[in-house]
Chain A
């Protein structure tokens, strides 16, 4: 069977899988960005409880593996009476995990905003919320975009693990096709190429575009 025949026969399943992977990726990315922002700000908070919660969240999710967290959410959470379907569990686990890494990027970027900016906004008697929203966060956002580009690729790679709780993403379809055809090089190779194209031709150019646009809007182009 030539590779073209292989693609003609199984191409539809790869497309279905890619769509599920894309959905997992987008949902997990939104969750990770929200969590990173909240936990990053909480870690800088003067309130010891808020800070403690953020540090615990960050250290816990960075200290254990995504796969362990995924299985724990999937198998153990139902024992607490909380049951999500596997699709939801998948992107929640990926989002929680990468959000913890992102929180450190948010914290680092906020701390890298020059002290004069804080003092100037204080001198203009801005409220802490306005100061954060109008002055600090926009500058921190520009500073943290490059490392976020790497993190988003890690997030995309992380979504492959949801296949292990039987979410029918790209990785899952590749395993199914491998199981029914025994054409491992084609089955897994095609999936590898799709992940690569997704990362290099969609995600990375988008992040570069965002970096350029944001720098320009901040007058730093």
Chain B
């Protein structure tokens, strides 16, 4: 039956906490890539060049409807076949960043589309260039509308980082697998992983809701 060993728990705790930092770092870097790349993907779908719009649209759909874990393998293993060797961290960050960029581009798209039409017309009337229209008028208004979706995906990317363990990124799940393999004890490491995830993701979901409410209040939207 079940025997939880506290001495073993405390023995592996420093290693698990260290790996937690790596998990947070992976989520942070991946999210930073996704935020920027997502905006590029969203704007590329609004250009008047039909072929570009079509290709980006289909690429976003493709990334969104295929499993992240398969994409991670793809990025990691395809490079060496053509002479480009990527470290697990680099391949992992590209894969997870690209995956969430596709999701965030949809969030931005929704935000941009909900900016009232009069704003666009006013920009045209003021003879603003396309770049000025986007960066000075539209995006500043679209971003607050996107905060809720962006927050959900921040928690989402954090919860998807365990998948990076499959190519050997030394995050929490990888540490738990390694410890389990060394000591033939899986109960404590996997339970710690679950608890760490709960302890981080539940409060951050609450914080994000509070932040969202704060943004809305600041902008006089509610």
Binding site for B on A (CB under 8 A): 59-60, 62-69, 71-72, 75-76, 79-81, 153, 156-161, 163-164, 171, 174-175, 178, 182-185, 188-189, 191-192, 195-196, 199-200, 204
Contact = CB atoms under 8 A, between A and B. Distances in A.
Interface residues of B, number: 41
Contacts of B187: 75-76, 79
B193 to A, nearest CB: 5
A157 B66 contact: yes
A182 B79 CA distance: 12
13 contacts: A62-B201, A66-B159, A67-B162, A71-B173, A75-B180, A75-B186, A156-B65, A157-B66, A174-B70, A192-B62, A199-B65, A199-B66, A200-B65
B2 interface: yes
Nearest to A72: B190
A195 B65 contact: yes
B163 A161 contact: yes
Nearest to B61: A200
A92 B197 CA distance: 20
Given A63-B198, A76-B186, A195-B70, A164 B81 contact: no
Contact of B67 (A65, A71, A160): A160
A192 B71 contact: yes
Nearest to B159: A65
Interface string B48-78: 0000000000000110111111110110011
Interface string B66-101: 111111011001101110000000000000000000
Interface in B176-222: 176-177, 180, 186-187, 190-191, 193-194, 197-198, 201-202, 205
Nearest to B172: A68
Contact of B201 (A63, A76, A161, A192): A63
Closest 3 A/B residue pairs (Cβ) = A160-B67, A184-B77, A75-B186
Most buried by A among B2, B74, B197: B74
Given A76-B190, A157-B68, A185 B81 contact: yes
A156 B65 CA distance: 9
A85 to B, nearest CB: 17
Given A63-B202, A65-B197, A80-B2, A188 B162 contact: no
B125 to A, nearest CB: 37
Contacts, number: 120
Interface of B: 1-2, 61-62, 64-71, 73-74, 77-78, 80-82, 159-163, 165-166, 173, 176-177, 180, 186-187, 190-191, 193-194, 197-198, 201-202, 205
A188 B70 contact: yes
Main SS at interface, chain B: helix
Contacts of A60: 198
Nearest to A183: B81
Contact of A185 (B78, B162, B197): B78
A195 B66 contact: yes
Contacts of A192: 62, 66, 70-71, 74
Nearest to A188: B74
B71 to A, nearest CB: 7
Most buried by A among B68, B69, B197: B69
Contacts of A156: 65, 67
A184 B78 contact: yes
A3 to B, nearest CB: 14
Contacts of B67: 156-161, 171, 195
Given A79-B1, A164-B166, A192-B70, A67 B173 contact: yes
B80 A68 contact: no
Contact of B66 (A71, A196, A204): A196
B65 A196 contact: yes
